[in-house]
Chain A
Amino acid sequence: MSLQDSKRYQTIGKPIPMLGARDKLTGTARFTDDIRLSRPLFVKILRSPYPSAHLKSIDISKAKKSKGVKAVITGKDIPNSFGVLPISKDECAMATGKVRYVGEPIAAVAAESLRDAVAALRLIKVKYEVLKPVLNIAQGLKKTKNPIHPELKREDNIHKSAHQSFGDPDKGFDGAKVVIERDFSFLSLSHGFTEPHSVQVEIKDDDELTVYSATQVPHYVHLALSEVLEIPLHKIRVIKPYLGGGFGGKSDPFPHEMIAARLALMTRRNIRLTLEREEVFFTHHGRHETQVKMKLGLDPGKGITALDGKMLIDGGAYGSFGIVTSYYNGVLLQGPYKIANFRFDCDRIYTNKPVCGAMRGHGGVNPRFASESLLDMACHELKIDPCEFRLEHFLEKNSLTANQFRITSVSIKKGLEKAMTKSGWKKKHRQLPYGKGIGVACGFFISGSALPIHWNKIPQSTARLTLDESGLAVIYSGASDIGQGSDTVLAQMVAEVLGLPMGMIKVVSADTALCPTDMGSYSSRVTFMAGNAARNASIQMRRTLVKAACQLLKIDEPPYPDPGKPMSFFRQGQRKPDFKKGFLGANPDYEDGFSFSEKKIISPANEELDYLEVVKKAMEENGTLQAKGCYLSPKMGGTHKGAGAGLSPSYSFTAFITEVDVNPLTGKVKVEKVTCAHDCGVPLNPLAVEGQLEGSIHMGLGQVLMEGLRYEHGVQQNASFLEYKIPSPFEQPEIEIILPDSDEQEGPFGAKEVGEGALAPFNPSVANAIFDAVAVRLFDLPITPDKVLDAIHKNNQKKD
């Protein structure tokens, strides 16, 4: 289906304002900290001032007696470790025995007021034996007798080494016309979401906990709380209220959630705990500081003959998503071009710094900068047009990459062609006056991970739909709307299939007691996975209504073509890929001959029934109507070690053409115009798609030009929004968005990823444009004016 065909849809493909937008704009939306529980205790956390130290003793006796204090806890009160990945549960809620980073929780006070809690915190006396910290990658690679995590039984601080090799990279380099190798470096980044981490815990009879948390992953928080606190899952209910941004920074279970729940159980009082901005920076879980050594071989006819990347990533003190990050640093280089000979090694290093984890574009962002820079350099050396080269060598639809990624739909070629036309590429590249430049870069990204974090065969998403005589359709989903529009897309699914206006859909989401299980909002999975589940539930509901309509009209039910597999719509993933037919029809014609539109249900013979009348008829047989849909990724991928990393049922593709102005006097770079072509399949809600792309560009802009955490002896120097430089509206460039015709056979109504993929290629498009403007290459992010100016001066000296 093309975008044009989507006009036959009622809700799909239309610009629909986000559900809840009005509440947020008018300030009536309740975020976690806005919830008012009865008589809560306020919690403050004591944090380590040292990057590495033995905890000799913690004296909480005075704090306990302090005014208003109801409880003081330390690491020994929550001894069980946790981590978002079952394979690296290496973190405790509060340090026991040893602190591993500045800002690590050591103790927590619950008191009648915040003021009482702060006062008591100052009375806690900790004796430290300060240890020599490991503060960077180089120190972490050194042999040591005292590693940060001795349980790994290593003599260094390497947490994870990921390696993969396909084809024959060495031979590939031998056969190249040009081989380029360079070193790159990248600072660690914070997500910079607006709403700080926050948790409130309500305790009820029989020690039942309701945990309100600003989280992307209520399901994982639910599992972790149960395991860490050793209470059964059914005694815990996790609810995510309105959420003010996540970007990966709220996709782990966190110490403050464990601390709040433990304090609720100890004091039998409701608990309120919101982090301050500095604590958010300490809690971190942002993008890893990264060093890349990458080598690329190129032959204009054959394409990229080989690619070899060696990545070192600074993980900070604990695991988080780090094992996945290590693989993503490599495997997300396998597109968007054909690369038969490919190799990568990535080591994640533990250091005595705040924990790094997932951040928009997870693991793929920094290596993408390296590979796209090298590609630009190689094209420059061979004097070939970097756009034309790319057009020749993109991955093709229905193909496999060297590492066995199953590539289904690809529309990047069309996208880049359009971007070239719209931006005037041919007239600008290498032809603009000094100081003005234009650059290109491309990328791809997963639409959710095909392998769940917890290895099981339970569907990754389930959605439940109910209908009663009011006509209101209520969709229940565990998916977590973090501001990206997850609720809106689910409502769109129901509205489309049942022919209802958006106002007749209610979304109940991210509540572990009410909603079916969903893995949560990370790895750009919601539209694809939860969306498919919601669509499948809606189709099942539609069948119930069609049956009732047939009864009212006294006609036979339509002969569904595959009666033997009625569940096929409701549970995906059990079949092998069939590229010819596609999976289940991304754009179903529902196979019933009926038309559902504007609260009317119209039979194949054009007899019109009122929607509410049909609902009532259906309820005669069933009572309140219920339907369910699931999504489970199909089986795919190779058998090599780490084959599951980066596997996704479909991939998005992005092409950027970016124009910059570089001031040769100050070195300041202004990104003036961005032409962004993103293949997200069918854009279900173009308004939301544009928002996601503009957001990705803004976030990339920060990383490429100014953002980065600066450390002094393990202490974050710029842990505030004044000193951590997120671009202001003045820096945001003019953006033109191109959504090339595309259709993903397995995506709901043809959709795939849009939330993250665009970020990675934006960064190198800026660097490549800087080269076009002033003939200097920058290899270290952020590209600050001083670096640009230095490079220009060095360049001029060479010429002299």
Chain B
Amino acid sequence: MLLSSFDYHRPTSLDELFDLIGLIKSQNESFSLYGGGTDLIANLKLSGESPDNLISCSRIEGLAGVRHDPNNNSLFIGAMTRLADLCEDRQVIKKCPVIALTAKKIASPQIRFLATLGGNLLVNTRCVYFNQTELKRDSLGSCLKTGGGSCRLVKSADTCKARFVSDLAPVLILLGAKLHLKSADEERTLMLEEFYRPDGIQKNHLTLGEILSFIEIPLDQPPKILYEKLRVRDAVDFASLGVGVGWNGKKMSAALETILIGTDPAPVVARFYLKDFKDIKEMIEHASNQASALLSPLKQDFFPVGYRKKMARQLVEKMARELTGKP
């Protein structure tokens, strides 16, 4: 499909970028920023509409790469680090292998070669009524996210029900990752867990003109983490359901965390403290039931609603047993 006309920019520094954004804003034009473009460009092609300006972040210096900071024992990963590099990075594999393993579950090798960590965390929400062409939007009518008056999935909904599909988000939330956000006149940090909003349109707390520059991952005593992705094919597909489970077995504050994506507009986070249960078995049973109960999948995926709920329960149970060593 043909993209409609737009001005294309490729700034080489953050200063240049923020100057550009300032200029565009002053002219009341619209703009979109992108990393690899594997999500944004595909969506623009589907919609047949483009913003006035497209800004590629690929040439901005200092936004890609992995750095270990020994002072506070943290890993700093640039938002423009490509997923393919993340899969191969020695420090990531050594210090946080679950990140590399999860990145490998995203899309396909060709796409990972372009797609970035930042792009994955900011990936657009998905829905059968949103990810459609102009003709089909004409045919079936538009939805909240495509400018219509109501959600096609839940008539009464006042927010968009499109699915959140970033595979790296659950793992990074479990790791306690912090986002470094930067705009022309401010730098701030935000816990990844607090970043997302349960709305398929207003997806997160990034403000217009602000960029995600890097992600900070504390390495002191990280929990044990597993991530499993339910999808039709073992390549290419977005998650129909993504399940991240973390287990921190420290005696006093032992806790199990579950983070599920692929069904709701934002990650569904739940925490269970061992002290609140009779034993680990009871905690796992409760956590897996909750995993299923907290999800609100809708008819917008290859897999039926009931199946995804069932899988949430079964996967959490299986993974929690594996993590706690209580089969």
Take A728-B233, A730-B233, A731-B234 as given contacts and tell me if A278 and B2 are in contact as well, using a CB distance cutoff of 8 Å: no
In chain B, residues 288-327, which have Cβ atoms closer than 8 Å to a Cβ of chain A?
Answer: 302-304, 306-307, 310-311, 314, 318
Minimum distance in angstroms from B163 CB to a CB of chain A: 13
Interface flags for A702-741 (1: CB within 8 Å of B; 0: not) read: 0000100000110111010011010111110000000000
CB proximity of A307 to chain B, nearest CB, Å: 34
Q: A666 — which chain B residues lie within 8 A by C-beta?
A: 230, 311, 314
B252: which A residues are within 8 A, CB to CB? none
What distance in Å separates the Cβ of A450 from its nearest Cβ neighbour in chain B? Answer: 40
A49-B135 CB under 8 A given contacts A666-B311, A786-B307? yes
A residues less than 8 Å from B2 (CB atoms): 114-115, 118
Complex Cα gap A713–B139 (Å): 9
> Whole-angstrom distance from the CB of A715 to the nearest CB of chain B?
5
User: In whole angstroms, how far apart are the Cα atoms of A294 and B294 in the complex?
Assistant: 44
Please give the distance in Å from B106's CB to the nearest CB on chain A: 14
By a CB distance below 8 angstroms, the chain A residues around B233 are: 706, 725, 727-728, 730-731
B138 within 8 A of A: yes
B139/A49 in contact, CB under 8 A: yes
Q: Does A471 contact B (CB under 8 A)?
A: no
Q: How far is the CB of B182 from chain A (nearest CB, A)?
A: 32
- Verify A785–B139 contact, CB threshold 8 A: no
Within the complex, which residue of B140, B303, B311 is in contact with A715, where a contact is CB–CB below 8 Å? B140
Decide yes or no whether B275 CB sits under 8 A from chain A.
Answer: no
A284 to chain B, nearest CB (A): 15
Across-interface contacts of A118 in B (CB, < 8 A): 2
Asked whether any CB of chain B lies closer than 8 Å to the CB of A651, the reply is: no
Residue of B nearest to A103 (CB): B135
Closest to B311 in A: A666
Q: Mark A775-800, 1 if CB is under 8 A from B, else 0.
A: 00000000011100100000000000
- A555 an interface residue at 8 Å Cβ cutoff? no
Contacts of B318 in A (CB 8 A): 665
CB distance from A366 to the nearest CB of B (A): 21
Inter-chain contacts of A731 with B (CB < 8 A): 233-234
By secondary structure, the B interface counts as loop
Interface assignment of A47: CB less than 8 Å from any CB of chain B = yes
Q: For A667, what are the chain B residues with a Cβ–Cβ distance below 8 Å?
A: 307
A785 & B303 in contact (Cβ 8 Å cutoff): yes
Number of residues of chain A lying within 8 A (CB) of chain B = 32
Q: Does A749 contact B (CB under 8 A)?
A: no
Q: How far, in angstroms, from A54 to B167 measured CA to CA in the complex?
A: 47
**A102 close to B (CB within 8 Å):** yes
Nearest to B107 among chain A residues (CB) is A722
CB atoms of B136 and A715 under 8 A apart: yes
Within 8 A of A (CB), among B1-17: 1-2, 5
Do the beta carbons of A50 and B232 come within 8 Å of each other?
Answer: no
Q: Is the CB of A706 within 8 A of B232?
A: yes
- In Å, the complex CA distance between A276 and B133 comes to 11
Tell me the nearest residue of chain A to B236, going by C-beta: A728
A789 CA to B307 CA, complexed, in Å: 9
- Whether the Cβ atoms of B304 and A786 lie closer than 8 Å is yes
Using A114-B2, A278-B133 as known contacts, say yes or no to A49 and B230 having CB atoms under 8 A apart: no
Q: Is B235 at the interface (CB under 8 A from chain A)?
A: yes
Question: Across the interface, do B139 and A729 meet the contact criterion of CB distance under 8 Å?
Answer: no
A102→B139 contact, CB < 8 A = yes
Q: Is B128 an interface residue (CB 8 A)?
A: yes
**Chain A, 49-61, contact with B by CB distance < 8 Å: what is the 0/1 string?**
1100000000000
Q: Indicate with 1 or 0, residue by residue over B213-255, a CB within 8 angstroms of chain A CB atoms.
A: 0000000000000000010111111100000000000000000
Beta-carbon contact of A728 and B234 below 8 Å: yes
Instruction: Give A407 Cβ to nearest chain B Cβ, in Å.
Output: 40
| Contact B133 A728, beta carbon cutoff 8 Å | no
Residue in B135, B234, B311, B314 whose beta carbon sits within 8 Å of that of A730 in the complex: B234
Contact mask for chain A residues 114-141; partner B; CB cutoff 8 A; 1 contact, 0 none: 1100100000000000000000000000
Chain B positions 100-159 with a Cβ under 8 Å from a chain A Cβ:
108, 128, 131, 133, 135-136, 138-140
Q: Contact at A784–B303, with CB atoms within 8 Å? A: yes
- The answer to whether B135 touches A722, judged by C-beta atoms less than 8 angstroms apart, is no
In the bound complex, residues from chain B placing their C-beta under 8 Å from that of A722 are: 131, 236-238
Nearest CB in chain B to that of A725: its residue: B232
User: How near does chain A come to B2, taking the closest CB pair, in angstroms?
Assistant: 6
**Nearest B residue to A731, CB-CB:** B233
Within the complex, the shortest CB–CB distance from A95 to chain B, in Å, comes to 15
In the assembled complex, the CB of B321 is this many whole angstroms from the nearest CB of chain A, namely: 12
Is the Cβ of B314 less than 8 Å from the Cβ of A50?
no
Query: Within 8 Å CB of B302, what residues of A?
Result: 706, 723, 725, 784
Q: How far is the CB of A723 from chain B (nearest CB, A)?
A: 8
Question: What 0/1 pattern do residues 28 to 49 of A give for CB contact below 8 A with B?
Answer: 0000000000000000000101
- State whether A786 touches B234 (Cβ < 8 A): no
Q: Which residues of B contact A712 (CB under 8 A)?
A: 140
In this complex, which of A103, A276, A666 has the most chain B Cβ atoms within 10 angstroms of its Cβ? Answer: A666
| A666 CA to B243 CA, complexed, in Å | 14
How far apart sit A712 and B304, CA to CA, in the bound complex (Å)? 15
Chain A, range 675-718, C-beta contacts under 8 Å to B: 706, 712-713, 715-717
A45 to chain B, nearest CB (A): 11
13 A-B pairs with CB atoms under 8 Å apart are A49-B136, A102-B135, A115-B5, A278-B133, A666-B230, A666-B311, A713-B140, A715-B140, A722-B236, A722-B237, A725-B237, A728-B233, A730-B234
Other CB < 8 Å A-B pairs besides A49-B135, A729-B235, 8 of them?
Answer: A276-B1, A715-B136, A715-B140, A722-B236, A728-B233, A784-B232, A784-B302, A784-B303
Residues in A lying within 8 Å of B, measured CB to CB: 47, 49-50, 102-103, 114-115, 118, 276, 278, 665-667, 706, 712-713, 715-717, 719, 722-723, 725, 727-731, 784-786, 789
